[in-house]
Amino acid sequence: MFEQELLSIVKKISPLAALQTPPDDSFGDYSMACFFLAKEMKKSPVKIAEELASSIKKPDFVERIESKNGYVNFFLKKETIAETVLSRIISEKNNYGHSNAGKGKTIVIDYSHPNVAKPFGIGHLRSTVIGNALVKMLQATGYKVVRLNYLGDWGTPFGKYIEAFKLWGSQKELEANPIKHLYELYVKYNKEAEENEQFQEKARNWFKKLEEGDKDALKLWKLFREVSLKEFMRIYKILGVDFDSYDGEYSMKDNVDGIIKLLEKKGLTKIDKGALIVELEGTPLMLRKSDEASTYASRDLAAIKHRIESLKADILLYIVGNEQALHFQQVFNVAKKLNFKQKMEHIKFGLYLDSSGKKMATRKGTLIMLDQVLNETIALALRLIKEKNPELKNKEQTANDVGVGAVIFGDLVNDRIKDVVFDWEKIVQFEGDTGPYLQYTHARACNILAKASPGKPDFSQLKEDIEKHLIIVLSKYPEIVAHAVTDYKPHILAQYLLETGHAFNEFYHACPVIKADENIKNARLHLVKAASIVLSNGLGLLGIKAPAEM
């Protein structure tokens, strides 16, 4: 809000100029370092700062501009910023932070995409919650968003499932606990395949039969997909995640021939050792295997064509782990050769690693199940609620909101690009910089508002520096959302919400609200209301509920 206007002023001095928040309020609310100008202007940073501080025309909301140690420091007017910021937040309510930046553009976002017949492991959490948060932020900034769950429901692994089920499967166990049974069969089959190459060959043969429409193979495949989707939907309901489509790779199998013909027509394909490839710098992209089976790449190219032509995508986003970087680089490269000019971006993220720092693997049986994690955090939240607030109504629902919020925030607070070592104690921790801390802060604000209704405010009553600090933090919310969307990084918003939570709790402990003088009380109630709106809106964009009571 104010930062953007100040930034436009300093950018006139130099396009390289930037604003920062000083470590201490005595240095102002915003500052600009002048060291980078010294060489160009042939003066010391201290002298440059002094000259700029005296020459910059003050906007109405700036009280004074000072120089110190090579920095230009801007001090904002308390009353002006209080009235401007708090009135806007309370007026816009749930729409505060929204914009029309993406109006008229359609983004197709591909996220979550667990593999059919495999458990929903903790590793799938990252794509799911990062994607869900980006969907909500993109919608809040005006984009039309199409949410795709492009299930991993095709490929050689299904040959393994079919052969394993025929060898060792139990219809009774499949009906009782389908995912557990299929997972155990998959792990067992991979162990056998490590010792006997024939198992790999049988799996490839079954997938080839699938692609050729073998009735027996398709019957089992449809059964595996049906029981898997039912389990996935249960998990999504707990997480509060929705999609516009659950069509997976199978839905593209009939489109593969068309995309390959386009590539052949352009002279981009060749046969190499029986496989159909596109030659690229470095590693070639395989479109068909030597046994004529399709590949991830050919199905992804068919999906790009479909998303552009049928879904009218202007931008295509893929929320997929870092290890797929080469695959998407190649697929996007080939898509450009087909003259698809739409923006395509691989939104990379790090992996959940086990306690020894190694990648969790379905085939080795080292997965941690997501529902196990969710059940544990929800149970912990319920125990804490019963201990600390036994009179609370809707304990189970609140515990669900808090437990799920802990898991989601515990993921999103990290920069998505980094790997995360899975730590049971940390992920179920509710103290410190966590989702439950922010939910409790929001509930604390709601509790104050439940005790008194704010009257007409006199914002000049907000004279404390700690009040001003909270107001400035709240004013940053729209820019923070825009920044998080531009970088496709939800942790920018998550970290900001922690800053907001800290600022509010410092205010709460230092400034009485209900017991204050009537004029001060009314002004502070508006500040509390504004903070509750920002916390609720921000948590909502991360896919986290903000209970009014805890």
Q: Where are the domains of the chain?
A: 2-76, 379-541
Secondary structure (3-state) at 236: helix
Nearest of 396, 391, 361, 366 to residue 378 by alpha carbon: 396
What is the chain's length? Answer: 550
Secondary structure (3-state) at 358: coil
Q: Could you read off the pLDDT of 176-209 as tens digits, one per residue?
A: 888 889 989 999 999 999 989 899 999 999 988 9
Specify the pairing of strand 315-319 against strand 343-347. parallel
Exposed e or buried b per residue across 20-33, where buried means at least 16 C-beta atoms within 10 angstroms of its C-beta: ebeeeeebbbbbbb
Between 393 and 368, the more confident residue is: 393
What is the C-alpha to C-alpha distance for residues 550 and 541, in angstroms, rounded to an integer? 20
The hierarchical CATH code for the domain 2-76 is 3.30.1360.70
DSSP notation for 286-315: EEE-TTS-B-HHHHHHHHHHHHHHTS--SE
Q: Could you read off the pLDDT of 94-147 as tens digits, one per residue?
A: 999 999 999 999 999 999 999 888 888 888 899 999 999 999 999 999 999 999
Q: H or E element: which one contains 343? A: strand 343-347
Topology of domain 379-541, per CATH? Isoleucyl-tRNA Synthetase; Domain 1 (1.10.730)
CA atoms in the 13 A half-sphere facing the CB of 445: 28
Q: Could you read off the pLDDT of 312-370 as tens digits, one per residue?
A: 999 999 999 999 999 999 999 999 999 999 999 999 999 888 777 777 655 555 567 88
pTM for the whole structure = 0.91
* CA-based R_g, the chain, Å: 28
Task: Determine the pLDDT at residue 367.
Answer: 66
